[in-house]
Structure 1
Amino acid sequence: MPRRAPDLVLAGGDVLLHDGGGAWRVERGDVVVRDGRIAAVGKATEGRKDGTGKQRTSQVRDCTGCLVLPGLIQAHVHLCQTLFRGLADDLRLEDWLARRIWPLESAHTEETVYWSALLGAAELLLGGTTAILDMETVRHTGAAFAALERVGIRATAGKCLMDAHPEGAPLDLAESTDAALTDAETLARRWHGAAEGRLRVCFAPRFVPTCSGPLLRAASDLAERFGAQLHTHAAETIVERETVLRTTGLEEIAYLDSVGIAGPRAALAHCVWVDAHEIARLARQGTNVVHCPSSNLKLASGVAKVPEMLAAGCHVAIGADGAPCNNRLDVFAEMR
């Protein structure tokens, strides 16, 4: 039986290929897409033509002179904030949250979360990002998953967990510990592994100043039970670092380790204000660090010690963060 004609052929580009180990190479060739999936990659043009030499599909894109590469990954985004672009400029993190972002997140409805996630995911796909680790807001995370299911991006997303009421946050933005965990578990039962495995749930405490110790420990337990990731912010500003040290008696990375937010399941966004001892701990744990350079500069948080982290053996990924702390979700801008 003859093979079904391809839906699309990306023809004649310089294709970036991975050998399955650690090596990359570039080869001139075609990428054949069939039934929405990459069916073949290589030099041969058989995907373009049938046995008589006729064109098998009209959807052939000439990629001569172009680099054709796998979809890129962003390991820290906030799709619930896409509609806030341009509404929180010229503020440091703490004021940015209290005066703009928390009130805006509190005002979200199920519909606005849906459209915010859909718009953000579309922007990411148009920029070459095909997989994300996303932290939503406190409510309506199911609407974000519905948008992600529709748009086709590969996503791990989580409801933002907050059971402490930080200064400046609307009262309804923090939940009881039990309510936050129950909602997160319900989301995991519905969405973890949905869309043929394309969608997954993570457990996402916002950051230590907004979360109790019991909430953080329970989030770690849920992640273990569901085989899911943990996603939080850590050591983003000097104020955060000093606050955590004052309230817990520990440096932030050590405190997160003590409550189970560490190791290969955990992704810690920012990690700007960490010292050599903490970098060594991150490397030893195998905890993932997410570098967000544009956000760190826009909010005047500082410059992360990425060269030192890499030299120590840390796993470091990249993320654009949210639209209002970056104004774009372009992974190429972050790489530059």
Structure 2
Amino acid sequence: MTKTLIRNAVIMTMNAKGEIIQGDVLVENNRIASVGGSVPSVQADTVIDANGKVLLPGFVQTHIHLCQTLFRGRADDLELIDWLRQRIWPLEAAHNADSVYYSAMLGIGELLRSGTTTILDMETVHHTESAFQAIQESGIRAISGKVMMDHGTEVPAPLQEKTAKSLEDSVQLLEKWNGAADGRIQYAFCPRFVVSCTEELLTGVRDLSEQYNVRVHTHASENQDEIAIVESERGLRNVIYLDRIGLARPNLILAHSIWLDEEERRIIRERGVKVTHCPGSNLKLASGVAQVPELLRDGVPVGIGADGAPCNNNLDMFQEMRLTAFMQKVKHGPTVMDARTVLRMATMGGAEVLGMEKEIGSVEVGKLADLQLLDLEDFHVYPSFDADWYSRVVYAATRGDVDTVMVDGRIVMRGRMMTTIDKSYVLREADRTLRNLLSRL
């Protein structure tokens, strides 16, 4: 048994009581063994002095596209449908196994360095194993799956799938990777959105997800043009259509869900559907402002995700937390979406969206040791006297304040130095593989 002791931290537990305590956290193997009080150093193999630092659960990002990280800055200033058809789909179509791997590594490095320890990821049509390999090697926790596309106009030939083959390839990936890395990797079926999927594919996903007891992750109601296409082709709005074909169930996680009517919100609430909010992406693509306070009042689990690097252009949860709060305050007034609510969305709220609230999302005995240490000894987060810790973390801290990150009991960054990813090598290979990818366009 390996033991890691984190000493003298301010511990923001994010437990049900919202307790903030001073003391030690002992990790045994990959789980939290004790929280608070004082633990003798002789009991630990590794001791981290966290005096002056804040210990938090790692962030849980509920919508990421690792395969798109290479495309940062190559799809700016467009609306969603043009963004996909003109830039993203052609770029994804040019991917090979090499470029997917380094795109994933580039994104994971950014995520870990900014305190994110768990992601819900959606890959592209091909080469998904390369992303799983990067996830496995880097140490991040992830639910991921190949994107599924068997329908739509202006889709590049390499992304056009046959329905049966899309389902078959997804099942093969699931059977190989679901539960890999001692359970750190899980599989999800990822039909891109209704615009890209036949009803046959979506009902196949419905049945297979039930058979294998895994999640379904898709985009829905992100953009009004998208909704118009769905209504034209299927005769119903997005969520109503998904409910009619039996996909609106507790294992369904919807990205964005901006343009919901009352009936769709009722379906989401009553069927136990989960939602992931992507404020940076929604603002940059001018998609709209999601009904986050309303969904939370309805009791709907809502997490936060950065989406992809070409529509954000970073994967920084600190920025997403600020935007989550600020954009709703403009609409509803300054008292809505306080810092504690937003930090909960980024931790326990995300865990609930993924159905992992009993394993991650808070610093509690028995939970998996997915943790981050913030060093808040700097100008931009002072004064510290009589501080509101939630305010300091959500409104003032930045990703540069993340000092140490642990996933599954393994230290993946300490003192801002990565231990599982060779930064200079990944940066160099990202440029090389992008250069090669662009030559294939």
Do Structure 1 and Structure 2 share a fold, with TM-score over 0.5?
yes
Q: Is contact 1:165–1:171 with CA below 8 Å preserved after alignment?
A: no
Residue 57 of structure 2 aligns to a residue whose secondary structure is: coil
Asked if 2 retains the 8 angstrom alpha-carbon contact of 1:299 and 1:325, the reply is yes
Name whichever of 194-203 and 33-42 sits farther off. 33-42
Check if 1:17 corresponds to 2:10: no
Match of residue 182 from structure 1: 168
Deviates more, 1:70-79 or 1:22-31: 22-31
Corresponding residue of 1:203: 189
How far apart are 1:243 and its partner, in Å?
1.1
Deviates more, 1:308-317 or 1:184-193: 308-317
Q: In structure 1, the residue corresponding to 2:216 is in which secondary structure?
A: strand
1:320 alignment partner in structure 2? 306
Task: For residues 268-296 of structure 1, give each alpha carbon's deviation from its aligned partner in whole angstroms, at most 9, with x where no partner exists.
Answer: 00011111221121111110011100000
Residue 39 of structure 2: aligned partner: 45
Are 1:283 and 1:315, in contact at CA under 8 Å, matched by a contact in 2? no
CA distance in 2 between partners of 1:65 and 1:259 (Å): 53
Shift of 1:35: 4.1
| Distance (whole Å) between structure 2 residues aligned to residue 104 and residue 132 of structure 1 | 22
**1: distance between equivalents of 2:311 and 2:59?**
21
| Aligned pairs (5 A) from 1:117-196 | 117-167=104-154, 169-196=155-182
Does the C-alpha gap of structure 1 residues 89 and 65 become closer, same or farther in structure 2, counting only changes over 3 Å? same
Whole-Å Cα distance in 2 between the matches of residues 253 and 156 of structure 1?
23
Partners of 1:279 and 1:314 within 8 A in 2: no
- TM-score, L = length of structure 2: 0.70
2:125–2:148 contact (8 Å) kept in structure 1 = yes
Report the residue type matching 1:269 in the other structure: A
Please name the residue that 1:220 is paired with: 206
State the Cα deviation string for residues 92-115 of structure 1 (Å, max 9, x = none): 111111111101100110111111
- The answer on whether the counterparts of 2:250 and 2:272 sit within 8 Å (CA) in structure 1 is yes
Distance 1:5 1:221, change over 3 A: closer
Contact in 2 for aligned 1:267/1:290 (Cα 8 Å): yes
CA distance in 2, matches of 1:310, 1:33: 33
Q: CA deviation at 1:198?
A: 1.0
Asked whether 1:26 is paired with 2:20, we answer yes
Deviation of residue 61 (structure 1)? 3.2
The Cα of 1:18 is off from its aligned counterpart by: 5.0
Higher relative contact order (CA 8 A, sep 6+): 2
Shift of 1:36: 5.3
Deviations, residues 202-224 of structure 1 (Å, cap 9, x unaligned): 00000001100000000111111
Preserved CA contact (<8 Å) 2:220 2:254: yes
- Letter paired with 2:5: V
Correspondence for 1:53: none
Does the 8 Å CA contact 2:243/2:267 hold for their aligned counterparts?
Answer: no
Give the match for residue 244 of structure 2.
Answer: 258
Contact 2:145 2:170 in 1 (8 A): yes
Q: Which amino acid aligns with 2:42?
A: K
**Residue of 304, 308, 312 corresponding to 2:294:** 308
Quick one: distance in 2 between partners of 1:103 and 1:18?
A: 42
Go from structure 1 to structure 2 and tell me whether the alpha carbon gap of 1:38 and 1:312 turns closer, same or farther (over 3 Å shift): closer
Q: Distance in 2 between matches of 1:325 and 1:31?
A: 38
Gaps of 5+ in 2: 323-441
Q: Does 1:113 align with 2:106?
A: no
Aligned residue pairs total 322
How far 1:71 sits from its partner (Å)?
A: 1.3
Contact 2:14 2:57 in 1 (8 A): no
Residue 183 of structure 2 aligns to which amino acid in structure 1?
Answer: G
| Distance of 1:278 and 1:145 partners within structure 2 | 34
- Give the Cα–Cα distance (whole angstroms) in 2 for the partners of residues 192 and 36 of structure 1: 19
SS in 1 for 2:19: strand
- Deviations along 1:157-215, whole A, 9 cap, x unmatched? 01000001322x21121100011111001001101111111111100000001100000
Give the letter for the 2:24 counterpart. D
Aligned partners of 2:248 and 2:267 also within 8 Å: no
Instruction: Give RMSD over aligned pairs.
Output: 1.6
TM-score normalised to the size of structure 1?
A: 0.92
**Equivalent residues in 2 for 1:54-65, closer than 5 Å:** 59-65=46-52
Residue 300 of structure 1, CA deviation? 0.6
CA distance in 2, matches of 1:18, 1:331: 16
CA separation in 1, counterparts of 2:30 and 2:250? 31
Structure 1 residues 23-64: Cα deviation after superposition (integer angstroms, max 9, x where no partner):
220110122344455443321131x236xxxxx65x543322
Offset at residue 117 of structure 1 (A): 1.1
**Counterpart amino acid of 1:327?**
N
Please name the residue that 1:249 is paired with: 235
Equivalent in the alignment of 2:387: none
